[in-house]
Amino acid sequence: MFSHVETFGVDHQTEALVIGLFNQNQQFEGLLKEIDEALGGQLIHLIKEGDIRVQEKRTSTIHTLGKLGAKRLYFVGLGRKQALTKNGLKESFGLLFKKLKEAKISNASVALSTFDTGVWSEQETAALLGEAQQLAMYEFENYKKKSNEPDKQLEKIELFSFYKDVVQSALVGYTYGKATNSARTLVNLPSNMLTATDLANYAVEMAHTYGFEYEILEKEEMETLGMGALLAVNQGSAEPPKMIVLKYQGKEKWEDVIGLVGKGITFDTGGYSIKSKDGIVGMKTDMGGAASVLGAMEAIGELKPHQNVVAVIPSTDNVISARAFKPDDVITAMNGKTIEVLNTDAEGRLALADGISYAKHHGANYLVDVATLTGGVIVALGTHTTGAMTNDSALLQQIAKASIETGEPIWELPITERDKKRVRGSKVADLNNSPGREGHAIMAGTFIGEFAEQTPWVHLDIAGTATSAASHELGPSGATGVMVRTLATMVCSFETN
């Protein structure tokens, strides 16, 4: 996909030459000057007349009419140099790749130096480019009748730079983007094609690919271990539950283990607390947390950081039958705590309770759970920001730093002693799973925190960010693969407390 070119003249043959343009007084030098001269000094006039746009997130295309080796020039508007951010540049690259795809360009060359802000390196620019290429060009292969027309793909990207290691940097970005796309595909799959068994099989295949240790607990083993919370959610289903475990050991000893726990509810009817006819549509995406964790593990398997990671995914669907669990039931979780069920639609936190406990059983010293957990987080934070709760500010700071780097913003919601009292307010059990609508997202996080106990823990509620209703610079509508890159970045840069 990526190759390096150190000497790049105007006669270099390519379908598309990509150039970055800042919104500033144009004094062409280097490659831009050579191009301008080859085109008879017309570039500055095209910029002044608006045929070539320099505003951020604007792309312009001109045909060279045989005056250059490149058939077309693609100009990426970058706005003011001092205002450009990494995420802004990544989104601009995303728009560029969408245009290249629409034009059916199979090979392109990128002059990396023309994107230089003086703030970050060409290697970092190359990483942003590689990530954007995967994210922006993603498509879910749906089940519509296929056309016989061949689909021409972008197969080759040449990076013009004096730094040879830009290719390696681009591949790192590519890896993050590809892993995110894997998560997107899992979330986009219909639930009849992605059961808990299918999810487990996917994880096992990943384990074989990357040499992970793995474990898939079956229902009988969960019963022996006392995983009554996950088993309660599964009671109504014809599909068996799975507790999925992947272990990556990047250190000599199994210590300082980061536990990633993903909610794997493959479809959520709400159970006897049934969802509305409109609210139930789209509940195939309720395993978005599991997809994020699996995507992060794919990136970890590719990048091989010097860290230890255990990924745990409690998986089942939540459906209604004569055997399904009911409001007023009392169940016992793996750690021995009893739970009064007040809402069978608050099932994700039950599955995560046993998932958190099992991650600790496998030696997790730090815990991060990811889940499409509550509509309340959408009311609080909208659809662009992930809600976060924690019992350890240092761990949250590491995740927040990674989220800023990847452009996946998070915002902390509080957990107070009063919140804990509400979750512990059952008259018949240690906990109740749904104390009421007020502070709904916080109640869910507080409940999960009862199982993290003293282990440093962060909860990420991605109910609002796991999907997008509209297409955007870095992908189509549908699943976003949110938190894949944040989790992987956090793991790769993790510092023990």
263 is in an annotated binding site: yes
Check: CB of residue 293 under 8 Å from CB of residue 490: no
Residue 142 is predicted with a pLDDT of: 83
- Using CA atoms, how far residue 218 sits from 48, 214, 480, in Å, is 67, 13, 30
Residues in the chain, overall count: 497
Q: How far does CA 457 lie from the centroid of its chain?
A: 19
Residue 148 is predicted with a pLDDT of: 64
The C-alpha atoms of residue 144 and residue 198 are separated, in whole angstroms, by 22
Residue 203 is predicted with a pLDDT of: 98
Residues noted as catalytic: 275, 349
345 is in an annotated binding site: yes
- Using CA atoms, how far residue 261 sits from 22, 246, 432, 487, in Å, is 43, 11, 21, 11
Where do the domains of the chain lie, and which CATH numbers do they carry?
Answer: 2-137 (3.40.220.10), 176-492 (3.40.630.10)
What tens-digit pLDDT sequence spans the chain (497 residues)? Answer: 899 988 778 899 999 999 999 998 767 888 888 998 999 989 888 988 899 999 999 999 999 999 999 999 999 999 999 999 999 999 999 999 999 999 999 999 999 999 999 999 999 999 999 999 999 999 998 888 776 666 678 999 999 999 999 999 999 999 999 999 999 999 999 999 999 999 999 999 999 999 999 999 999 999 999 999 999 999 999 999 999 999 999 999 999 999 999 999 999 999 999 999 999 999 999 999 999 999 999 999 999 999 999 999 999 999 999 999 999 999 999 999 999 999 999 999 999 999 999 999 999 999 999 999 999 999 999 999 999 999 999 999 999 999 999 999 999 999 999 999 999 999 999 999 999 999 999 999 999 999 999 999 999 999 999 999 999 999 999 999 999 999 999 999 999 87
Please, which residues have CB within 8 angstroms of residue 402's CB and are 6 or more apart in sequence? 485, 486, 487, 489, 490, 493
Q: Can you say whether the dihedral through the CA atoms of 382, 463, 483, 255 is positive or negative?
A: positive
Angle at 450 (CA atoms; ends 444, 338), nearest 5 degrees:
95
Question: Identity (one letter) of the amino acid at 245?
Answer: V
420 is in an annotated binding site: no
Question: Identity (one letter) of the amino acid at 408?
Answer: E
286 is in an annotated binding site: yes
The C-alpha atoms of residue 390 and residue 459 are separated, in whole angstroms, by 6
Check: CB of residue 464 under 8 Å from CB of residue 378: yes
Residue 172 token pair: 């790192």
The C-alpha atoms of residue 334 and residue 322 are separated, in whole angstroms, by 24
The helix/strand count (H/E) of the chain reads as: 15, 20
The C-alpha atoms of residue 234 and residue 228 are separated, in whole angstroms, by 10
Q: How many CA atoms lie within 13 A of 350 on its CB side?
A: 32
Question: Identity (one letter) of the amino acid at 62?
Answer: I
The C-alpha atoms of residue 324 and residue 341 are separated, in whole angstroms, by 12
